[in-house]
Amino acid sequence: MTGKKLAGAAALFLAALSAGAQNAEEIIRASRNRIEADTTYTLSTMILKAKNGSETRRVIEQFSSDGPDGDRLMIVFREPRSVAGTRFLTIENPGAGDDRWIFQPARGREQRIAAMDGSKSFVGTDFSNDDISSASRNADLDTHSLLREESLGEYSCYVIQSAPRDSSYQYSRMVQWIDKTTGVCHKIELYDKGNVLVKTMETLSLEMKDGRLTAMQTRMTTHAAGTSTLIMVDDIRYNARIPDGVFTREFLVTGRPR
């Protein structure tokens, strides 16, 4: 990555912070909003690693878009046959929890995901239903505090703790390492209600795509289970043309935009 390209990517993050600001909430907001794009399309490979070392491969498509009231997300499983046709829809609600539904061909109908089911595994992966939409989680839902500044490998980071305002949320706190220059979140530690570290999410690979510093490999590890899920981005397109009909319950069931 050239210095010129890195400077361009960092500008979006740094511009979102006021001069000299080190307010934890503003850093979180700037990090989550650092990539400017109305829509994003990705084709990714998931590698699920079991405790015994065996691996399972899945292929997913992900469509995201800025809607009139917030972010919208549709995930479609393409391979293998056992999960093909499974679709997951999230619609953000300002100041409230997201609306989420899942369609599984074996059931033949859509199912709403209740807030109490946010901690359940997302289609057998190490990600929970809540984790899938965590990158766009509304900063107002948490209380943020700047714990310290430290290096994480080659990166100089803000270390920020976010504690959910809603005690029913599955985690008691999330600790994030956010790059002071680019705004990239390199690592998140997730703690349960007993303050035990249960999962860690790591950004393993970054590349410049369409002038945007993009996470190309992300891994979620579940410590007690000894399992992990690696997401590798095979193709990504910013500001791709995505019909609004993709983000509907009709598409969720049929796989076809109206």
Query: Which pLDDT score, from 0 to 100, does residue 1 have?
Result: 40
More confident residue, 235 or 256: 235
Average pLDDT over residues 212-220: 96
**pLDDT band at residue 13 using 50, 70 and 90 as cut-offs:** low
Burial per residue of 49-58, b for 16 or more beta-carbon CB atoms within 10 angstroms, e otherwise: beeeeeeeeb
Percent of the chain with pLDDT over 70: 90
Query: Which pLDDT score, from 0 to 100, does residue 44 have?
Result: 98
From 129, 72, 107, select the one nearest 247 (Cα to Cα).
72
Per the rule left: phi > 0, alpha: psi between -120 and 50, beta: everything else, 210 is: left
140: which 2 tokens?
A: 């107002």
**pLDDT band at residue 10 using 50, 70 and 90 as cut-offs:** low
Helices (H), the chain: 3-15, 24-32, 129-132, 249-254
Compute φ and ψ for 26, nearest 5 degrees: -65, -35
Least confidently predicted of 8-17, 53-62, 104-113: 8-17
Span 117-149, pLDDT tens digits: 788 898 899 999 888 877 778 888 899 999 999
Q: What domains lie within the chain, and their CATH numbers?
A: 3-254 (2.50.20.10)
Task: Please list the residues that pair with 71 across neighbouring strands.
Answer: 66
∠ CA 201-206-212, nearest 5°, is 115
Percent of the chain with pLDDT over 90: 67
Whole-model pTM?
Answer: 0.87
- Give residue 12's Cα distance to chain centre: 19
pLDDT of 9 higher than 80: no
CA distance 131 to 116: 14
